C-alpha cells in the first residue's frame, strides 16, 4: 500500500512545525491500483483483489531550525 511522506520542519523560534510538500511513496505492489507496478495487463481489479488504499501519511521531521517559521517571520512580530 502506498503512502505519502510529509517532511516537516521544526522552528524552535516560535514552536511551529511546518509541513513541506508530500512525496508519494510507491509500494511497488502489482495489486495496488496506485502503484506504477499495478498489473499492466487488462484485468478486473476486484477479481485480483486489487486495492487502492493509502496508508496514513508519514510525518518526518527533516529539519530543525532555531528561527521562527516563515509565516511568523512575515508577520513582523506585531500582531493585531
Does 53 engage in binding with Zn ion (CB under 5 A)?
no
Among 5, 14, 22, 59, binds Zn ion (CB under 5 A): 14
Least distance to Zn ion, CB of residue 21, Å = 18
* Per-residue contact flags (x/-) with Zn ion for residues 18 to 37, judged by CB under 5 A: ---------x----x-xx--
For 14-45, b/e burial (b = at least 16 CB within 10 A) is eeeebeeeeeeeebebebbebbeebeeeeeee
Q: Quick one: 11 exposed, middle or buried, by C-beta within 10 A (0-12, 13-18, 19+)?
A: buried
Does 16 engage in binding with Zn ion (CB under 5 A)?
yes
**DSSP state, 72?**
H
Least distance to Zn ion, CB of residue 12, Å = 10
Select 5 or 72, whichever has its Cβ closest to Zn ion: 72
Amino acid at each position: 500500500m502506498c503512502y505519502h511522506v510529509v517532511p516537516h520542519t521544526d522552528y524552535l523560534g516560535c514552536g511551529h512545525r511546518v509541513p513541506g510538500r508530500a512525496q508519494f511513496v510507491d509500494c511497488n505492489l502489482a495489486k495496488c491500483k496506485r502503484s506504477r507496478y499495478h498489473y499492466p495487463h487488462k484485468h478486473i481489479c476486484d477479481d485480483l483483489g486489487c486495492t487502492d488504499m493509502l496508508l496514513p501519511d508519514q510525518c518526518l521531521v527533516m529539519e530543525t531550525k532555531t528561527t521562527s517559521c516563515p509565516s511568523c517571520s512575515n508577520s513582523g512580530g506585531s500582531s493585531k
